[in-house]
Amino acid sequence: MKALVIGGDGYCGWATALHLSNKGYEVGILDNLARRHWDAQLGVSALTPIASIQQRIQRWKDLTGKTIDLFIGDITNYDFLIKAFRKFEPEAIVHFGEQRAAPYSMIDREHAVFTQVNNVVGTLNILYAMKEDFPDSHLVKLGTMGEYGTPNIDIEEGYIEIEHNGRKDILPYPKQPGSFYHLSKVHDSHNIHFACKIWGLKATDLNQGVVYGILTEETGMDEMLINRLDYDEVFGTALNRFCIQAAIGHPLTVYGKGGQTRGFLDIRDTVRCMELAIANPAEAGKFRVFNQFTELFSVGDLAEMVKKAGISVGLNVEIQNIENPRLELEEHYFNAKNTKLLDLGLQPHYLSDSLLDSLLNFAMKYQNRVDKTQILPTVSWHRK
């Protein structure tokens, strides 16, 4: 089967492209390399030294004999997108190609507008390209658990049965996202749902939690295949940041009280979830939603786990609750369902087993590359 990985030069996309190629899929990567440009604009780089996309693909071919097609361009440019689709003829379209950092979207008006245009227009173009020429292909789209926010009731997988004034219906689960980035995902979900309804398209929205780790079977084969790992205040995510902070002796930056609870998953489970979603496609006209995470943790609990693991390898780790730059509940109920991917066969990696191997050891190995000025948060959700 032919799978086009949009955003295949990024963190989740690169690992997924190699995994699918390894599993026998014919893989194409489409990416405008914008993420490398945004890093350069912010003056940050990943902890790990990442090779160019051409070098990465060449090394994969040298090692395995498998070819990956490359399409460099922007999905907000419909002409480019439809030409790439016609050349590759995807059966599965795996869409990671968005601006994905909440802090980036909250820098100022320009970044908020850019994030929503990039994400919403890109996804809408994909839907039109599917409708025009590839109505039987399956869109596997990365959404986010953050679409739901932190409601005081259990979070279902996409839909909830509601009884109101004596009548019942199954409706999209209410969305209360916490940044202009997370809002862009809600807008995407609505557009995809509508397109499935009117054009009979097949789509799976994967509401993914926060991803951690760096190693997958494929990216670990050679240093030229190494994945990116971000630790800066804009693109770095909680657990990845905590491990890198521990490695360099920086106090772990827990925002506010630290009771913020989120869904988390190992990047090895991300790539497996993508494989499962593609192998078991949605029905025509169906907008399917899976919650893609394996464990729930509060950020305070995560910091404690990193501290314990760090001390076990001789690091001096401190935790510091700093002023929260975001506006979010710091103590709340959070109970989200995640059975649909488990039912398809996902066998999770658990953080307690992999913290050292998949993360802390890498953080220690590359600690000399860390720019300490990029760690403390400066982007604020607050009205000045």
The yes-or-no answer on residue 175 being catalytic is: no
For the record, the structure tokens of 382 come out as 């607050």
Angle at 286 between CA 280 and CA 287, to 5 degrees: 90
- Total number of residues that touch ligand USQ (CB under 6 A): 20
Residue 294 is a binding residue for ligand USQ (CB under 6 A): no
Q: Which of 99, 89, 115, 116 is nearest to 3 (CA)?
A: 89
Residue 211 and residue 12 in contact, taking contact as beta carbons nearer than 8 Å: yes
Query: Which stretch, 34-42, 94-102, 218-226, 279-287, contacts ligand USQ (CB under 6 A)?
Result: 94-102
Active-site residue among 181, 231, 255, 366?
181
The yes-or-no answer on residue 23 being catalytic is: no
Active-site residue among 16, 48, 144, 261?
144
Q: How far is the CB of 127 from ligand USQ (least distance, A)?
A: 20
255 binds, among ligand USQ, ligand NAD, none (CB under 5 to 8 A by kind): ligand USQ
> Phi then psi for 30, rounded to 5 degrees?
-120, 130
- Dist CA 235 CA 113 (whole Å): 18
159-188 residues in contact with ligand USQ (CB under 6 A) are none
The contact mask relative to ligand USQ for 111-150 (x = CB under 6 A, - = no) is ---------------------------------xxx----
The yes-or-no answer on residue 181 being catalytic is: yes
C-beta closer to ligand NAD: residue 137 or 237: 237
The residues that are catalytic are: 144, 181, 185
- Binding residues for ligand USQ (CB under 6 A): 100-102, 144-146, 209-210, 237-238, 241, 253-255, 260, 262-263, 299, 326, 328
